[in-house]
Structure 1
């Protein structure tokens, strides 16, 4: 029978009640439409610990076209947030609201949305411990992330603020290349995950093969909680069989999926005997797997007289939750469904609530403050600052290059911290202006509070706070710890900035808090660029304002101006990345400009040593005389030796730093540096008033960076170069005439002159980006693709069907306590339970069945120039089935013939 849901209050809807009959029973999921006010929870409720326990901050991660946005649309529909199911092909989805997303049918920008599951009003009352967590409404803050490799940075900046994630796999394609990449990125932040195998309704879907690929390619043990239900064993996909509750869930074809037929094990024995037998095997395998990691389930197993089927479902759910939240466990719950056919999404929502953590249950987020790194909770207790001061006291005070923060009363300073938040996303909204998405980690971010940006040391007011529902919003008075919200009206905040509020109305917080950093992230180097030209000189200012807004939104974009041509160059991570940025600049921001063809960002390297070259700058600037000198030496540099170079103890060294593959060493022999007690301020008697060692360090470094931006022979940025700047106070400092700008100009001129000496000496060579390419094809296309890569494109094959560690640009480092996945032993797929797939043929002499058209993975190193436009060529080679992802592996010197050919092509020759 179909039972209508039971209403508990006029505002919302509580748990549903249904009756079980002896033969058939149905569960009707609600389709309630709550008033928007129901979604804007009050600060009183949100500050309550019980309400925070009912909050889930999750993300959807997957390879492109695995069904992330489609699954998200079903979640919004079943939670009552939307009245109709959006379609990616129609461009009517909630989370893909940008015009470029709807035109292309892909996710470009991660979208944040808040809904409740089950539908209802979240309150702070204590839940009934006898019921599962999914029996009471929970607040779910969901982020739908992109799947295309060009937007990997968008995924990275979203992952670091999540508490849990759902990884969606294509049941036909299995574990794809980009899936592995985002999986490893989630592992760097130790994010608990669920796996959802989607698209099981399509021809060629192989659930069992996908489960085995999860174990072999992702390095985890899949805890199979559901197996697919194919009608009569080899018919169409109609539902799932639940190994936890030992029941079948069947959806009716063509409906919206709200009504589910629930069939117990006895009925399955009568109607679907093969499915019932497989469901028993799945339950046995699930209990056995959990028993290896959880002692509680072992005790329950013995209490049930060693009967796997008698173990209560609630104990299995609790055991799954413990294993999922344990960072040392390799168990990941796995579910099945077909989101486009409206099957399997509601049980997935229940699993999100039951198995993924609330904000208080997540690992302590890593922070850095001054020279110390540790957990946020240790910082708030004051232990981290005390430990840092102890380290600072044990170090020699004579090393001027060490910047150590001294604090006499650390707990008093930390006690003034009212809130700490991370700005993980900046979006320009046409109606509301610039929206800064924040995750609050401690305290409560209140409206009109003064926020200090520890990255750029600027204080700003937060005039308005919002809770976002994709492109819609509700205004709130505060955003408590553990929640995600939006700050409107910030003029300087960028993606990745740490924002703190503190007691008092001073311009900046107490000293230790000014260096606080929450989970810093490394921006990968851009490899493509295009020119941006305004239609007229009057539009030039508007163009630069629009470009600066784009850079605030997406730090993986870069803008620089070519000194020789005066062109403005926009650089990005890939062809599609730049194409989207160009469309946003012209169509969304209404910039009146034209763009050139997308080009490759080459580099220039020194082949030998040049210098030393000394330059004295002596010129009047803006009515004030400036005079300073500097000596520069340039030589090749290997980034692998950077750590050993930094470890050199030399009193003359004022600064050593690496920037975009180059190293800058600043020497100041004879420059005495004094440090005031209980302070990090530096002074020197050899410097004129108004100039301190920190300003000297920054000025010389900026001058070297300006010279490194342009090579002497091919005008490309320099790479793998060490610049050594020497400042002799007796010869290069001229009293009050020596200013910071004069020092910077002298450093730039000396470095550029040393580069020019390279042309007549050892010379320079062009460098090109070499990409780490992972290509997924089927067995039939393997030979043609390998031949094309190795012969036509000048690449070399690294491996077939093997995982390759990601480069340093693909993942941010984690704390030292995290265990690298590469150090864990490999998992034998034969030990993993996986149900048999329909239409599969047995392997020859093996126990594991193999699909008739097995997917293959090719890993290769290929020059970026040969990968431009490769997707169309790959699809023609593989009948449209091939996909690939790539990331920058390194910059490599070109051979002389290849350099000559590339230069001829760039100059218009052949």
Structure 2
């Protein structure tokens, strides 16, 4: 009785005898049973969907996407190795000096002991199987670090030449750990990456490393954090020096009011914990300083968080009685709220295996999960907004409202574009950002992606909104530095790798859409996720293949390098034919050469920069007439031409012409004027074709102009004295119809040869008379330095390098680079009050040690100058030495200028090898 209705329900759409009979007489009992079954099935489906959604939400809440940022040699890779060891990911601690680290796996990285490209790695803290193995509920009174979390960590480079590598990694992070050298304090590259992190509103914590070294000053570093980074340091730990001024043995925790002591020489797994009463007995001065640190921490948080103020009053205004969990919650709220400008500060010595476990706890407790991170910026058709607004459909509606009204007759297209944009968003399966491309020798091209919404599944069709093409994702990987595990999908909030994409580049936005359509609906095709501006190159070098047969292979390899690193640029010098590779610095190009030759096995070599000098006349030549009379391809060719050569300046170039002028055009700084007195030109009204009855058969005015112009350009490509191309030169070519044209013998090749011979002869006549002079490229240079280094940089530019200072101002932001970009919000913030900064005293601190740098001396300044290109070769290294590594610059070609006689003599001697 029950089976038949179930069978009928399974096939509701069938057409046939059975289905017709069953539908003709519905049974009341059958209907009641079916309704009950439908209710049960719907409840189970809803329960399963709710459970799945809750599990995904909890998994995402227990995920941290963090990066390690710092100046070079601050200890980023060393700290990362300890994190991997304590989490159980590795069984031994890698050493940077030995080249045995997990994240520095490139041969060039291990040879130099520095990080060149960022590495992504996943581990769990506290050690476990991640969020999936944890119970559904957690004790609200326990910190988040009591439960295992999945940590996706990215170790970034610290060298200034690899600033772009840091930039493209920062924008996909939810939080960051900024590591400072306890001896050097806040260094140059730290300030740059800090500004970049502020641009993307990334919550951060600070870890002061290397406190075991002589000269380490934790207090001075904390004061520099406030003055140089313009934030309020919330000191959560203070260093524990044995006896007050002895060896560094641990840290005192101001949040939990306890001391953590590590035994020297061990791997750091065993930590001795002491409460405040025990510290009073063993280290009384440290216990007293810990109380002052706790008071300062609560006072600082009270200025920004009302909840901690209420808790403070509940504890009878006793700073020490405030529960640690309330302080952790308050710190987390302040870290997530960028306007508070409060950044927690921790202490340790990673190389001595001290302080890393509390830092990992801080990462889990204080840094945001993907849902808590700031809404990533997206843009559609020039309209910018948050990704969450896009997914809700508000951004699309706003974009449609701002779109201009279409012209008449295009109402149908407007209706198609505006047909329920929220419906288009609802079918968006995933949205991901390709933030890095790596060419792996074994796996091929690996595209690192951060998934922002939905789930990126294997074999899904990905639409590239930058290139407007679709590619299928055949394989997905979860990367563990150089090792990988294949997965079926990458959920939202996670970082993974797509293998097999042939066109995706750094910065591309990838979308997958329901139905596997090759192209999503119109608004989505213009979606851009956090677009990145590539900084301009400041250093150039030439790349030459060993033979012509290797040239194609070399250009293919350079294409791979450009896809991996968009901060590299490749161009071809039209004069010399050289392939020029430009990058962010000498080390940057040195690494590119190593990868080109050693990794990709390209048979090529890189030389030093070749500067394209020019040559210009100093007077006017006589009118030189030449007759070209030769046999070309078995046919006699004869034509004549008269040429006059004279120098011009950029202001003198004019396109004005009289009725006898056939052409007046400026090409690459030279002006070519072609005159043909008495030539009649007839123009067809239908197709604008030009004819002339005075020209020989088969020759029209357009061919005449092209032939004479090509001949003049060929002659100007080589100067008469220095063999450099001519510049700022005007060539006037005159055709006498009676004397220079010879009927059928006059061809385009003959005219071109006559123009070249006449122009070359005029250049030689110019050399015999007034002579010529060398010209050199002069660059527009914008240099960003701090106030303390301004004088030395200005003196170096104006005296040592022969440059001209145009302006000095206080606008620090270079328009072409993010390295020193400062947001308007940062500029409007009030200055940091030094009286609110707590910093513990440093061992052996005197009145001259630990004094914070005045704000005026660290104020950024911008120098605008014009400098010869020759003096700018290798300038980046010199600028960093003048500015303690804090100077940056961008430059572009302005114009060519005549060289003075002494400078011309010196350059010629260098070119000829007379150093």
What TM-score do the two structures reach when normalised by structure 2?
A: 0.72
Aligned twin of 1:162: 173
Aligned twin of 2:202: 191
Aligned twin of 2:128: 120
Q: Is the 8 A contact 2:430 2:455 kept in 1?
A: yes
1:370 maps onto 2:381 in alignment: yes
Query: How far is 1:132 from its partner?
Result: 0.5
1:582-593 → structure 2 map (5 Å cutoff): 582-593=593-604
Aligned twin of 1:886: 888
Aligned twin of 1:148: 159
> CA 1:240–1:795 in structure 2 vs 1: closer, same or farther (change >3 Å)?
farther
Secondary structure at 1:582's aligned position in 2?
helix
Secondary structure at 2:328's aligned position in 1?
helix
Aligned twin of 1:213: 224
Bigger mean CA deviation after superposition, 602-611 or 546-555? 602-611
Name the CA distance, whole Å, in 1 between partners of 2:235 and 2:329. Answer: 15
**Residues 395-431 of structure 1 deviation map (CA, whole Å, 9 limit, x = unaligned):** 88899xxx99943321222222111110000000111
Aligned twin of 1:811: 818
Q: Is the 8 A contact 2:67 2:155 kept in 1?
A: yes
Name the CA distance, whole Å, in 2 between partners of 1:195 and 1:326. Answer: 16
**Residues 552-608 of structure 1 deviation map (CA, whole Å, 9 limit, x = unaligned):** 101111112223333222111111111110110000001111221245799999943
Query: How far is 1:506 from its partner?
Result: 3.1
Name the CA distance, whole Å, in 1 between partners of 2:545 and 2:797. Answer: 39
Name the CA distance, whole Å, in 1 between partners of 2:139 and 2:803. Answer: 61
> CA 1:297–1:901 in structure 2 vs 1: closer, same or farther (change >3 Å)?
farther
Bigger mean CA deviation after superposition, 529-538 or 416-425? 529-538
1:473-484 → structure 2 map (5 Å cutoff): 473-484=484-495
Q: Is the 8 A contact 1:67 1:198 kept in 2?
A: yes
Q: Is the 8 A contact 1:371 1:404 kept in 2?
A: no
> CA 1:822–1:765 in structure 2 vs 1: closer, same or farther (change >3 Å)?
farther
**Superposed CA RMSD:** 4.3
Secondary structure at 1:283's aligned position in 2?
helix
Name the CA distance, whole Å, in 2 between partners of 1:137 and 1:799. Answer: 56
Query: How far is 1:145 from its partner?
Result: 0.7
Q: Is the 8 A contact 2:470 2:519 kept in 1?
A: yes
Query: How far is 1:797 from its partner?
Result: 11
Task: Work out which of the residue numbers 36, 46, 50 in structure 1 matches 2:58.
Answer: 50
Task: Work out which of the residue numbers 86, 89, 97 in structure 2 matches 1:81.
Answer: 89
Name the CA distance, whole Å, in 2 between partners of 1:208 and 1:260. Answer: 24
1:101 maps onto 2:109 in alignment: yes
Task: Work out which of the residue numbers 396, 400, 424 in structure 2 matches 1:413.
Answer: 424
1:306-705 → structure 2 map (5 Å cutoff): 306-393=317-404, 406-598=417-609, 607-608=650-651, 610=653, 612=655
**Residues 90-116 of structure 1 deviation map (CA, whole Å, 9 limit, x = unaligned):** 111111111111111111101111111
Secondary structure at 1:328's aligned position in 2?
helix
Name the CA distance, whole Å, in 1 between partners of 2:605 and 2:237. Answer: 53
1:837 maps onto 2:835 in alignment: no
Name the CA distance, whole Å, in 2 between partners of 1:272 and 1:883. Answer: 40
Query: How far is 1:271 from its partner?
Result: 1.3
Aligned twin of 1:254: 265
Q: Is the 8 A contact 2:189 2:885 kept in 1?
A: no
Name the CA distance, whole Å, in 2 between partners of 1:566 and 1:476. Answer: 47
> CA 1:603–1:381 in structure 2 vs 1: closer, same or farther (change >3 Å)?
farther
**Gap regions ≥5 residues in structure 2:** 1-50, 616-647, 658-662, 670-686, 689-712, 726-773
**Residues 661-717 of structure 1 deviation map (CA, whole Å, 9 limit, x = unaligned):** xxxxxxxxxxxxxxxxxxxxxxxxx99xxxxxxxxxxxxxxxxxxx9xx99999999
Secondary structure at 2:403's aligned position in 1?
helix
Secondary structure at 2:115's aligned position in 1?
coil
Q: Is the 8 A contact 1:207 1:835 kept in 2?
A: yes
Query: How far is 1:210 from its partner?
Result: 0.8
Secondary structure at 2:256's aligned position in 1?
coil
Secondary structure at 1:499's aligned position in 2?
strand
1:36-47 → structure 2 map (5 Å cutoff): none
**Gap regions ≥5 residues in structure 1:** 1-42, 615-628, 636-685, 688-706, 718-762
Query: How far is 1:160 from its partner?
Result: 0.6
> CA 1:454–1:467 in structure 2 vs 1: closer, same or farther (change >3 Å)?
same
Q: Is the 8 A contact 2:775 2:899 kept in 1?
A: no
Aligned twin of 2:77: 69
> CA 1:433–1:209 in structure 2 vs 1: closer, same or farther (change >3 Å)?
same
1:847-862 → structure 2 map (5 Å cutoff): 849=851, 861=863
Query: How far is 1:373 from its partner?
Result: 1.5
Bigger mean CA deviation after superposition, 60-69 or 900-909? 900-909
Secondary structure at 1:48's aligned position in 2?
helix
Name the CA distance, whole Å, in 2 between partners of 1:473 and 1:50. Answer: 25
Aligned twin of 2:279: 268
> CA 1:843–1:526 in structure 2 vs 1: closer, same or farther (change >3 Å)?
closer
**Residues 830-882 of structure 1 deviation map (CA, whole Å, 9 limit, x = unaligned):** 331111111121259xxx7579xxx999978585755655688799x99xx95
> CA 1:238–1:100 in structure 2 vs 1: closer, same or farther (change >3 Å)?
same
> CA 1:602–1:270 in structure 2 vs 1: closer, same or farther (change >3 Å)?
farther
1:824 maps onto 2:835 in alignment: no
Q: Is the 8 A contact 1:422 1:497 kept in 2?
A: yes
Q: Is the 8 A contact 1:188 1:812 kept in 2?
A: no
Secondary structure at 1:494's aligned position in 2?
coil
> CA 1:786–1:856 in structure 2 vs 1: closer, same or farther (change >3 Å)?
farther
What TM-score do the two structures reach when normalised by structure 1?
A: 0.72
Name the CA distance, whole Å, in 1 between partners of 2:278 and 2:806. Answer: 52
Q: Is the 8 A contact 2:85 2:91 kept in 1?
A: yes
Q: Is the 8 A contact 1:528 1:601 kept in 2?
A: no
**Residues 410-464 of structure 1 deviation map (CA, whole Å, 9 limit, x = unaligned):** 1222222111110000000111010000000111100000111111111111000
Name the CA distance, whole Å, in 1 between partners of 2:122 and 2:406. Answer: 49
Bigger mean CA deviation after superposition, 536-545 or 247-256? 536-545
> CA 1:565–1:797 in structure 2 vs 1: closer, same or farther (change >3 Å)?
closer
1:110 maps onto 2:118 in alignment: yes
Name the CA distance, whole Å, in 2 between partners of 1:107 and 1:340. Answer: 17
Query: How far is 1:368 from its partner?
Result: 1.0
Q: What is the total number of aligned residue pairs between the two structures?
A: 725
> CA 1:575–1:633 in structure 2 vs 1: closer, same or farther (change >3 Å)?
closer
> CA 1:231–1:335 in structure 2 vs 1: closer, same or farther (change >3 Å)?
same
Query: How far is 1:903 from its partner?
Result: 6.1
Query: How far is 1:806 from its partner?
Result: 3.3
> CA 1:163–1:290 in structure 2 vs 1: closer, same or farther (change >3 Å)?
same
